[in-house]
A and B are shown apart, each in its own frame.
Chain A
Amino acid sequence: MNHIVIYKGHNIRINGIPAKDVISIPGSGTVAISPRTFRGVKPKLLVDEGDNVQIGSPLFFDKTKPEVKWASPANGTVKTIQFGARRVIEKIEITVEGTNAISGQTFSPEQLESADRTTILTRILEANLFPLIRQRPFNKVANPKDSPRDIFISAVNTAPLSVELDPVIESEKEAFQSGITALSKLTDGSVVVTSRKAMELQNAEVQTISGPHPAGNVGIQIHHSKPIKPSEIVWTVNTQHVITLGKLFLNGSYSPDIFVSIGGPGASNPQTVSAKVGASIGSIISNQEMENPIRLVSGDVLTGKTVEKDNFLGFYDSAVALIPDTVGRPFMGMLALGSNDSKYSLTSTFMSFGEKLFNFNTAQNGEERAIVPIGAWEKVLPMDIYPNELFRAILAQDIDEMEQLGIWECDDEDFALCSFACPSKIDVGAVIRDGLELMELEG
């Protein structure tokens, strides 16, 4: 069995680690999906305001791949469809009224085992759950017409404050295995599951990984086992979504509940809850007391999006972070010695040592400057890629050089730690994303 050791990277010691026991919270009054947030998707609506939908009913589809539709995570009435500039569909909001789900064919593990690609693909597509499968490069919704080289599943979450996946897999073992068996029919290669410790799984190649974040990022795992070449496509599925797919085959219907971690220095009650995909942020954080200004983040603190209480959990997100949003202006801060409580740095430029958890706030801790390459990016990027040179090639829009420097293997989430550590406060991930978009455009 392949074992990957990651040396570069960093586990950010952020305060407010979510407790592992799963708490159930009062259901969300409304849930929503935001079609705008899916990369490369041209959404077209299948519902109108006031329509009744069941769990699993199609809400919209992608004009470029009409067979790919998005399932409703709730049973109820479409409350509002909100449009933004140029009639971009901002969100489809559904009032939750019941628990009726569209049900379809069920598969026993044996039936799954003997099913062929078309059967599995058709079932996922008609259940409107295909968007759970994403592809690399570009980290966007996969195309069902593609035949992926492999399918990668990361069974490790190393992002700060994220849901611990081992107990989740343990409690849903059968569904996880069924999901993997189903996915294994979709590729001629293998389903590669990367985890912390060895696992007994059928129809999958299991590999283990050790080391700090971003070891849990599927892009890093692909890079260290079977790197992507130009024109190759690899599919990826989140562990929780593999379970969702497994349940679809075992029970015949969509179960839109996932585990969501709530953490961060602003969380009064860091915990793990069970919530619906697209649940309202207000319902998820109903157990948190928020007295001071706090920034809410859907997704992890490194790559998530800023949201408000009346917004909704992102489609692929399984974490909500609460970070204090007040930043002071200490006198002569640049000369401060610093302590464990006031400074957190990957360099030893402050007198902050030890393993204490740190109360981060939303301070950028400096202004944006030109790159001074002291090796901050390289220290946290466990890839055989020169980030500085790739960054420059992207700024110069030199497609050939970007390809030579390995942009096909990159995704912005793998560079989030570089932005975290950068003394010049440059958003490296955003530039990588620009580069990928350029590659796709020119592709």
Chain B
Amino acid sequence: MKWLRNILDKVEPVFKEGGKLESLYPIYEATDTILFSTDKRTESGPHIRDSIDIKRVMILVVVALIPCYIFGALNIGFQIANALGETLSWKENLMNGGMKIMPIIAVTFAAGSFWELLFSIVRKHPVSEGFLVTCALIPLVMPVTVPLWQVAISTSFGIVIGKEIFGGVGMNIFNPALVARAFLFFTYPARISGDKVWVAGPDGYSGATALAVPAAEVGKDAVSLLNSVTQFDYSWMNMFMGWVPGSIGETSTLWCAVGALFLVITGLGSWRVIVGAILGLTGMAFLTNFMAEITGSTNTMLTLPAHYHLVMGGFAFGVAFMATEPVTGAHTDKGRWVYGIFIGALTVIIRSINPAYPEGTMLAILLMNAFSPLIDYFVIQGNIKRRMIRYAQ
């Protein structure tokens, strides 16, 4: 790779202070340090440092998403074949699905890089690697049928409004990828609210998503309703494996769990948030099941058991990759428990009691993003109170 190094060294003066393209220095710097690790040395103590840096953190989150990408492509191919009544080999499914999601990925990265680089140049800050994660997340929460211009608009909205106007990665309040998804959700609700399936099948092909099935009927048992669907296999196992229609990367609970495990083992994602969210979801699902029994409510969603909530919709994906995002979540360990539990509980509440949207994970996480500073505030107040009592002694 000496030749590449030589080229970079050769063009460096052009981007340095006084060079012709001085204003584009962030672009040079980003390319240079992504291709070759920085040789920056410590200036004062600590003279030695841990090998981890933000580039490594961000690239590993992207790595954690790879299983979801591969499975997403497979599943999209499978859903197309299913809609056409064909049975194809996994290679053909992967190819068909891959062809569908490639343009979405390309448009997301094009739009995302454009804004990130523009802001870096204008605000003269280094390109932050966080946009890689944001751009890797956005396609996974998009329906495969989304028009590309909507991908471009929502990515732009997510990056600019969700992140850059606050000052970039580390200063943002909401998860930019979820902001992009929410923008799409509220701007084009007819296409994306999650009651009709998104399958890149023949024109006019449609059906109800798993979450829309119990939401549409009154006074039935949710599980037997799901099992009675013939168009798709909405059995628990199948939904856990992910062979159901949905956004590109969200359908497989299994592969989301693999990604989550990777984040927890590498120390990048907080297990407290994940366990908290599962506990919150389970607890609230038990409560709604109980409510359905004692109140005699005709809301079928109330009868949906916890283990079904866990594998349906975007819960697994949201908790694994969105809720664990460290910047927008709670910053204290105690706070992370509360933050996780509320995400799980709110997901069930929005799914069961809100009549407008069958899915609630995205809204639950965004809501808790907004509340995480408050949660931290209470945790910190606890610490302060303890200290003040000690000072008073």
Contact = CB atoms under 8 A, between A and B. Distances in A.
Contacts of A352: 51
Contact of B384 (A12, A306, A365, A405): A405
A440 B331 CA distance: 29
Given A373-B326, A389-B380, A303 B170 contact: no
Interface string A357-370: 00011111111011
B51 A367 contact: no
Interface stretch (A88-96, A172-180, A328-336): A328-336
B301 to A, nearest CB: 36
Given A304-B47, A366-B38, A372-B326, A423 B391 contact: no
Contacts of B327: 371-373
B49 A429 contact: no
A295 B48 CA distance: 11
A410 to B, nearest CB: 12
A-side interface size class: 35 or more
| Secondary structure of the B contact surface, majority rule | loop
B102 interface: no
Contact of B47 (A306, A404, A429): A306
Interface stretch (A33-41, A54-62, A414-422): A414-422
Contact of B331 (A321, A346, A350, A388): A388
A305 B44 contact: yes
A299 interface: yes
B39 A329 contact: yes
Interface string B37-50: 11111101111111
B50 A365 contact: yes
B-side interface size class: 35 or more
Smallest CB-CB A-B distances: 10 pairs: A366-B53, A370-B170, A333-B37, A347-B267, A360-B48, A343-B51, A329-B36, A331-B1, A334-B55, A327-B39
B380 A364 contact: no
B332 A386 contact: yes
Contact of B267 (A335, A372, A374): A374
Nearest to A401: B384
Contact of A364 (B4, B34, B41): B41
Nearest to B55: A334
Nearest to B37: A333
A14 interface: yes
A133 interface: no
B99 interface: no
Given A229-B390, A331-B35, A404-B384, 18 more contacts: A230-B391, A295-B47, A331-B4, A334-B53, A334-B59, A345-B50, A349-B268, A363-B42, A363-B49, A366-B53, A367-B38, A369-B54, A371-B327, A373-B327, A374-B268, A384-B386, A416-B45, A424-B170
